[in-house]
Amino acid sequence: MKKNFVPTVFEVPDSLCTNNYRLEILTPDISELDYDAVMSSRKRLRNVFGENTEWPKDDMSLKENTEDLIKHEKEFKARKAFAYTVLKLSGNKCIGCVYIDPTEIPEFDCEVYLWVRDSEISLDDHLYKNVRSWLQSYWPFEKIAFPGREISWSDWKSYLLRAKNQS
C-alpha cells in the first residue's frame, strides 16, 4: 500500500452538493440518521462491500454504529480513508454513504463503495455517476475501482489474490 493515500498538498473536500443531496464528512454527529438508513436497508447492504457479508447484522446497536462513525471520522482526519454521509438537502435524513478507501491492488489508486437506502434506490445510479465524475475531476486518482459495481466480485477476488501473492 502507498505511504500516503493522497498527497499532503491535496485539499480533501468537506462536502459535495448536488440538486438532490449533499455529501458531508461521516461523523458520529449523524449517528442516529445513519443508523436508521443502515438498518432500513441492511439486507441489500450485505452485498455492497462484498458478496454476502455480515455487515450490518440484524442486531447491530446504535452504539456499535456510533463506534463505526467515530472510526471513520478518525480515518478521515488522518487522511487514511474518506467516508461521507449522503444527506437530503435539508440535512434531516441520511440517504446513504460513500467510502473512498486505499487499496492493496497495484492496478488501482483507490477502491470506492457507495450505497443509498432502499427508499431512495432511484438515486443509486445518480449518486454513482456523480461520485465517479467528482473523483475523476477533483481527486488525485487516475485508476478508481468500484468493486461489485464496475468490477465483479469474482474478478475483485482475483485482483486481491494476485496482490497478496505479489507481496
Q: What is the pLDDT of residues 113-162, one digit of tens each?
A: 999 999 999 999 999 999 999 999 999 999 999 999 999 999 999 999 99
Mean pLDDT (the chain) is: 95
pLDDT band at 1 (very low <50, low <70, confident <90, very high): very low
> Would you kindly state where each structural domain of the chain is located, as residue ranges?
15-166
Q: What is the average pLDDT across 28-48?
A: 96
Q: Report d(CA 108, CA 75) in Å as an integer.
A: 20
What is the second-level CATH architecture of the domain 15-166? 3-Layer(aba) Sandwich (3.40)
Q: Determine if the peptide bond prior to 56 is cis (ω within 30°).
A: yes
C-alpha cell at 55: 455487515
Burial of 157 by CB count in 10 Å (0-12 exposed, 13-18 middle, 19+ buried)? Answer: middle
3-state secondary structure the chain: CCCCCCCCCCCCCCEEECCCCEEEECCHHHHHHHHHHHHHCHHHHCCCCCCCCCCCCCCCCHHHHHHHHHHHHHHHHCCCCEEEEEECCCCCCEEEEEEEECCCCCCCCEEEEEEECHHHHHHHHHHHHHHHHHHHHCCCCCCEECECCCECHHHHHHHHHHHHHHC
> Rounded to two decimals, what is the model's pTM?
0.95
- pLDDT tens-place string over residues 84-119: 999 999 999 999 999 999 999 999 999 999 999 999
